[in-house]
Structure 1
């Protein structure tokens, strides 16, 4: 049985947290199996899982790694001259083509693209507006994608590409609702901007009076905003990650990222494309920064954060902790594999 199918078979809604790395399915144990890249000094918040064998990582120190053998070996394919940059997101279309985002104020926000597995890179965008700060990127297909900046002049700013990340342009902001005071995105897992299908895209916010999710059905030209029940009202609080299994069903996770603060109502769900959100009845027990639907499942998803991994088998309404290790981001692929990455060079793949 595939690991994702084994996880989806879990039906117990609550349970004691298991030791790091194990989830008891009743039919054996699925677990995060370490795929150590040998970089304990790097924090990987960017993760692009292509399939069971191929994955890309993006992290601190301008680091980009790639595996094509399921994590047994990792190749350092970092762009030259990028050691001072902080990569927080990466999208990969296959083992050769990838787009990586570096975050920061002004010219620290950059986009790089490779078409040869990271042997060479092209810097395709460098931010020149000191008021912009890019957080994450997402693609609709191999050509069309967006990158999200915190608000500039009172509205979230978006870059758009129609050629796979080779060139970028700033989208007009006429269709973007005004940002709340203090509102921003979180560059925590590469999942503050999420697409589904050829047109729909959502962005997650925090820091303002309400944690909101904004939705566009026309690739970022016009947007509507909806409040979520995830707590906000503080620069450390809000929705940190989104995951949509189709254009109507989604989950939002977040909370307060400060380790000494509690995070009640750390998850919310929608069944109408993000027009309305309701709190999870039994949310994860702490702040979570990443989320992903299990492959080919209508009800099962994972959420990860510094204190553990949680599983839902009812579409996000209730969650149980299945691992206590620290991860920042998670991604699953159509061939029934799931990957996670985080601090101290931690990288793992779900196995049985």
Structure 2
């Protein structure tokens, strides 16, 4: 959830809403003993502290992990979600949103120290986007309990007080991103839509047969990238747009083969002309907007969600529990994470650059 909007799984007036909405006992459970914080990392040493690089990660165990120094130290917040986190988005170091597999939407205005339930949806939630303190979008399908298949986008423009619904029939929506409160992109397995009115209306811009489009990112209202893979060959695919998603061009990823399915793109992040795409074999990276690519090796795990705070500081989750971090744009990746923080894998991460604390 970059944008200079950063999110992974990728980046996302709560005031009146948070003042009027109590924490849901069904969704949040207080932790005894307060936040747990430690620099212990059995997978390997953490990166050197980078004050001002903030990140948040949610996982299958329902926990929320937070760092304010680029991953050198992490703390688990004072509560656990009884539901599994699906996606998280922060628009600055204080303002964030989180969605769960039970269809619950939560919001924070203090960097995640406290959360409020702003919406209980009937969706099986897939993705989340946020552009400001007032505007957020939730993508899902059907009813969370019934496993329905009617694709839906929920949107709020007042911090979660009210929500509007747009339905997309049988489309299998996979991701959503907004560069500001009006300009956004929406993905299905083989389709890309754009909006210029905050999601009130959407235009189908591109159909790519025989593909699975998995992730989308924007760095401003004009520049966007979509990642996915070819269902026939398993090769990674990246498309770029310079006009806000109206037209798209396929990028050539000239990287050495790494085995069947090893380069299938999962998530994409962008910052200042740098791109990162996670795949089972590592991280596909470009320093020139996608003109050239390299496969960056990682020391442990299979990269999944990814977020970039800036062109140097990148964090990724993995299928096998360690957190990955780089302070040099991915030239070197470190794998680290305490086992008791990571009982089960993390599934989404958001990152922003802000003032050092």
TM-score, structure 1 as length reference: 0.72
Aligned residue pairs, count: 285
CA distance 1:224–1:328, shift in 2 (3 Å): same
- The Cα offsets for residues 27-56 of structure 1, whole Å up to 9 and x where unpaired, read as 99832211255322x222321112222210
Where do 1:229-248 residues align within 5 Å? 229=255, 233-234=260-261, 238-246=264-272, 248=273
1:312 is aligned to 326
Instruction: Please state if 1:148 is matched with 2:148.
Output: no
Please say if residues 106 and 127 of structure 1, whose CA atoms lie closer than 8 Å, have aligned partners that are also in contact. Answer: no
CA distance 1:228–1:143, shift in 2 (3 Å): farther
- The Cα offsets for residues 127-182 of structure 1, whole Å up to 9 and x where unpaired, read as 12x3x21100112222111101112xxxxx122211122332323x3xx6x44x4x
Q: Unpaired segments of 5 or more residues in structure 1?
A: 1-16, 152-156, 187-191, 256-264, 338-351
Query: How many Å apart are 1:220 and its aligned residue?
Result: 1.9
Measured in 2, the distance between the counterparts of 1:309 and 1:213 equals 24
CA distance 1:39–1:313, shift in 2 (3 Å): closer
Query: How many Å apart are 1:185 and its aligned residue?
Result: 2.6
Please say if residues 49 and 72 of structure 2, whose CA atoms lie closer than 8 Å, have aligned partners that are also in contact. Answer: no
2:316 is aligned to 303
1:323 is aligned to 337
Please say if residues 46 and 89 of structure 1, whose CA atoms lie closer than 8 Å, have aligned partners that are also in contact. Answer: yes
Measured in 2, the distance between the counterparts of 1:327 and 1:30 equals 17
Query: How many Å apart are 1:245 and its aligned residue?
Result: 0.9
Query: How many Å apart are 1:108 and its aligned residue?
Result: 3.0
CA distance 1:55–1:284, shift in 2 (3 Å): farther
Q: Unpaired segments of 5 or more residues in structure 2?
A: 1-39, 51-68
Q: Greater RCO between the two (CA within 8 Å, min separation 6)?
A: 2
2:194 to 160, 164, 170: 160
Measured in 1, the distance between the counterparts of 2:274 and 2:102 equals 36
1:184 is aligned to 212
Instruction: Please state if 1:91 is matched with 2:116.
Output: no
CA distance 1:278–1:30, shift in 2 (3 Å): closer
Please say if residues 230 and 237 of structure 2, whose CA atoms lie closer than 8 Å, have aligned partners that are also in contact. Answer: no
Where do 1:22-61 residues align within 5 Å? 23=46, 25=48, 30-40=72-82, 42-61=83-102
Please say if residues 43 and 335 of structure 2, whose CA atoms lie closer than 8 Å, have aligned partners that are also in contact. Answer: no
1:218 to 232, 243, 253: 243
Measured in 2, the distance between the counterparts of 1:212 and 1:278 equals 14
Measured in 2, the distance between the counterparts of 1:112 and 1:163 equals 14
1:269 is aligned to 285
Please say if residues 201 and 217 of structure 1, whose CA atoms lie closer than 8 Å, have aligned partners that are also in contact. Answer: yes
Where do 1:53-202 residues align within 5 Å? 53-79=94-120, 82-83=121-122, 85-103=123-141, 107-123=149-165, 125-128=166-169, 130=170, 132-151=171-190, 157-171=191-205, 173=206, 178-179=208-209, 181=210, 183-186=211-214, 192-202=215-225
Measured in 2, the distance between the counterparts of 1:207 and 1:121 equals 35
1:249 is aligned to 274
Query: How many Å apart are 1:283 and its aligned residue?
Result: 2.2
Please say if residues 203 and 213 of structure 1, whose CA atoms lie closer than 8 Å, have aligned partners that are also in contact. Answer: yes
Measured in 1, the distance between the counterparts of 2:298 and 2:139 equals 30
Measured in 2, the distance between the counterparts of 1:98 and 1:23 equals 33
CA distance 1:160–1:107, shift in 2 (3 Å): farther
